[in-house]
Structure 1
Amino acid sequence: MRQLIDLQRQLVPELLDVMSKRYKILQQVMLAGTIGRRALANVMAMTERVLRAETELLKEQGLLLISSSGMSLSDDGRRVLEQLEQLGPLVFGSSELEIKLQNMYGLQRVIVVPGNSEQSEVSKRELGRAAGLLLKRVVKSGDVIAVSGGTSTAQVAKYLSLPNTIKDVVFVPARGGLGESLDYQANTIASTMAKRTGGHYRLLHVPDHISEEAYESMMQEPSIKEIVEVIRNARIFIHGIGDATVMARRRKTDPEEVRKMVNDGALAESFGFYFNKHGEPIHKMKTVGMRLDDIAQIECIIAVAGGESKAAAIDAIMRFGHNHALITDESAALELIRINERNGHHDEL
């Protein structure tokens, strides 16, 4: 397949250009659900005349449905889009931004979606969908998948599906999180992922932030010890990234403790730990679940985070050095490159 694609690039490079354009049209229609031609032309930065010719062809091929309310994907359109997405990196290659971030952080895979997910619902949805597609490519039957709480991982849950050939996947929360909003708790996200994929889930009903005494007591409970053992042996871990101060306040951390963390240089939060700009863990909450030692042993770690304002936090977590893949958006990617250029890191850390 790779050899055939390379030959096509040499002999008929315009073929892949046309395929890429039509793929992006189908992708945008899918994200919108139903969209008018003018709105789609604006999103695609194309003239309505050019777009009309492309959408008419896609309609004739049975991939698009066009009605008075706008355009939507047919069942065949969804099937073709799904197949193209599986072949995406092979057919279309990685973008310059993706390659640059891959080299900067030594990652196996980077996916950059268009826009700014802090300002655009479409970009936010695409962030979750792209992470779901990557997970679909790496998951195996019998896998245990740990997931952190947060808005980004909640988006992944909405768009996740797995092939029928993948069986007995178990989703678990990476740690306790009963202190957060229900929709964004790791327990909720793990159960949603399991229900959407026909998998199984295990829940961890413990608070997000507990005392040393409570921690020791909980870890004596056989049921908690058993689920924690499952969590710590996950093969795949999907996590979000947050600003340290924002996350500490959201978790109702004592103001004095927040001040101390900031003074110590806390910049980013992920999986219950706080990191400085060098990617060094400088503060951890006492939580039941995954530990830093466990993270170092996980085979596949996928970070999902976007938005320009989160770039510094993303940079810190990438410097921690244990992620294998990053799913982010254009605004964060561009700011990550600026941060590295300012700090003199350029293409490598």
Structure 2
Amino acid sequence: MRKTIRLLQKLVPELLQQLEKRYRILRTIQYNQPIGRRILAVKLELGERVVRSEVEFLKDQHLIEINSSGMNVTAEGEEIIDSLKNFIHQAKGLFEVEKQLKEVLRIENVVIVPGDLEEDPSVMFELGKVAAHFIINNIKDKDVLALTGGSTLKSVVDNMPSNSFYKGITVLPARGGIGRDLEYEANTLTATLARKMNAAYRLLHIPDSIKDEKVIHSIMNESSIRDVVEELHNVNVLICGIGRADKMAQRRDLSPEMRTYLDEKGAVGEAFGSYFDEKGNAVYTIPTVGIKGQDVSKIDKLIAVAGGKEKAKAIIASLSNKPNAVLITDEGTAKEILYIL
């Protein structure tokens, strides 16, 4: 296939450009259906005349249908999208980028989703879908999974199919909650994922914002909290997001003094309660109940799902030199990481 793609790129490069454009249009309709033509043009950042022409072509090929509520992808269109994924990956050279990124970060594996999340928000849906598929194919009976919170992890859980493929699975929140945006909290995502997987689960009913270690020690005397924390020692698959240090410090309501401290220490990324500088050193770890940065190396598999070029430095800082880590990200972010490194 690689040789064929190289020949096409040399002889008819416009063919591959047209293929990629129509694939992107189909995928955008799929993620937003039913969708009107004007909104589709805005999402794709294409002129309405171009979109009208392409939509008519896709309709004539029976790949989409149009009704009063908008456009929807047909069953044949869904099949085309699935069939083209590997070809698009190959045509854009993403297998090579995955290999390069794996080597420079020194991690177990990298999975790249075509597209740029900052330019096309619908890529978040594909990021969640690919991550959900990866998780389903890389867990086994009796695994103990732990999840952090966040909008990216919500996309993963939303795209997880309802199934009971595995037996004896347990799902746990990796930490407590921030106290806002309940739908993104680790407890909420844990319960939703467990129901979809027909798995057992426990929740951690404790704010993640408690910074007094004496208070944390006192809370640990509660059997319901202590039991969950004990179970977290058995986690062998951790699924997490990665955030920019400055944004996560703001979300967690860290004091102005602490934010200044993080700036002075050069913190650029946050994951699993630790703030990392550009060299991957943990410059600060939040006192918390749950999985901490120092626990991560003891876990069999760390699956980090993160996208957006603004997070490139945060990803490098949080994941570099973690041989148990898998990164699932978008094409734009992957290339930005390689550019930085």
After TM superposition, the score normalised by the length of structure 2 is 0.79
Aligned to 1:174: 174
CA contact (8 A) 1:25 1:44 kept: no
Larger deviation, residues 217-226 vs 232-241 = 217-226
Look up the match of 1:3: none
Matched letter for residue 273 of structure 2: G
Aligned-pair CA distance for 1:14: 9.7
Q: Distance in 1 between matches of 2:174 and 2:257?
A: 27
**1:244 maps to which residue?**
245
After superposition, the Cα gap between the structure-2 partners of 1:323 and 1:181, relative to the gap in structure 1 and judged at 3 Å, is farther
Structure 1 residue 278: deviation in Å?
Answer: 0.8
Do the aligned partners of 2:35 and 2:71 also contact (CA within 8 Å) in 1? Answer: yes
Name the CA distance, whole Å, in 1 between partners of 2:86 and 2:215.
46
Q: 1:90 to 1:118 in 2, by over 3 A?
A: closer
1:32-80 residue CA offsets vs partner (Å, 9 max, x unmatched): 223567948x9599997677566644x3xxx754546554234676578
**How far 1:320 sits from its partner (Å)?**
4.9
Instruction: Tell me what 1:319 maps to.
Output: 320
Give the deviation of 1:162 after TM superposition: 5.0
Alignment pair present for 1:185 and 2:185: yes
CA distance in 2, matches of 1:90, 1:154: 28
How far is 1:247 from its partner?
A: 0.9
Shift of 1:224: 1.5
Q: Cα gap change, 1:304/1:167 in structure 2, threshold over 3 Å: closer, same or farther? A: same
Identify the residue that residue 157 of structure 1 maps to in structure 2. 157
Segments of structure 2 that go 5 or more residues without pairing to the other structure are 9-14
AA in 2 matched with 1:182: L
Which AA in structure 2 matches 1:315? Answer: I
Q: Against the structure 1 CA distance between its residues 202 and 132, is the aligned structure 2 distance closer, same or farther, given a 3 Å change threshold?
A: same
**Aligned position for 1:232:** 233
- Structure 1 pair 313–87 and aligned structure 2 pair: CA distance change class (3 A): same
| SS, match of residue 138 in structure 1 | coil
Mapping of residues 74-89 of structure 1, within 5 Å: 74=74
| Segment drifting more, 110-119 vs 306-315 | 110-119
Which residue of structure 2 lines up, in the alignment, with residue 257 of structure 1?
258
Alignment of 1:132 onto 2:143: no
Match of 1:112, SS? Answer: strand
Q: Secondary structure at the match of 2:224?
A: helix
Residues 42-51 or 314-323, more deviating: 42-51
Equivalenced residue count is 327
Deviations 1:87-141 (A, max 9, x none): 9989998533323212221333322234443453312222222211211211223
Which residue identity does 1:235 align to in structure 2?
N
Gap runs ≥5 in structure 1: 1-7, 341-349
**What is the match of residue 299 of structure 1?**
300
SS in 1 for 2:320: helix
Q: Residue 98 and residue 24 in structure 1: after superposition, are their counterparts in 2 closer, same or farther (change >3 A)?
A: farther
Q: Which residue of 2 aligns with 1:346?
A: none
What does residue 286 of structure 2 align with? 285
Deviation sequence 1:264-311 (CA, Å, 0-9, x none) = 222111111111111111211110011334311222211111112111
> Which residue matches 1:5?
none
CA contact (8 A) 2:105 2:321 kept: no
Measure the CA separation in 1 of the matches of 2:29 and 2:109.
Answer: 26
The amino acid across from 1:101 in the alignment is L
**Alignment partners' CA distance in 1, 2:266 and 2:4:** 54
SS at match of 1:296: helix
- Structure 2 counterpart of 1:148, which letter? T
Contact (CA 8 Å) 1:180, 1:251: kept in 2 or not?
no
Q: How big is the shift at 1:261? A: 2.0
Deviation string, structure 1 residues 125-177 (Cα, Å, up to 9, x no partner): 22222211211211223322111111211221221125442234322110112
CA contact (8 A) 1:278 1:320 kept: no
SS, match of residue 279 in structure 1:
coil
| Maintained 8 Å contact 2:107/2:320 | no
- d(CA) in 1 for partners of 2:34 and 2:249? 39
Please report the TM-score for the alignment, with normalisation by the length of structure 1. Answer: 0.78
AA aligned to 1:242 is G
Task: Sort the Cα spacing of 1:12 and 1:290 in 2 relative to 1 into closer, same or farther, 3 A.
Answer: closer
Whether the aligned pair in 1 keeps the contact of 2:5 and 2:91 (CA below 8 Å) is no
Match of 1:203 in 2: 203
- Go from structure 1 to structure 2 and tell me whether the alpha carbon gap of 1:76 and 1:291 turns closer, same or farther (over 3 Å shift): same
**Contact (CA 8 Å) 1:136, 1:162: kept in 2 or not?**
no
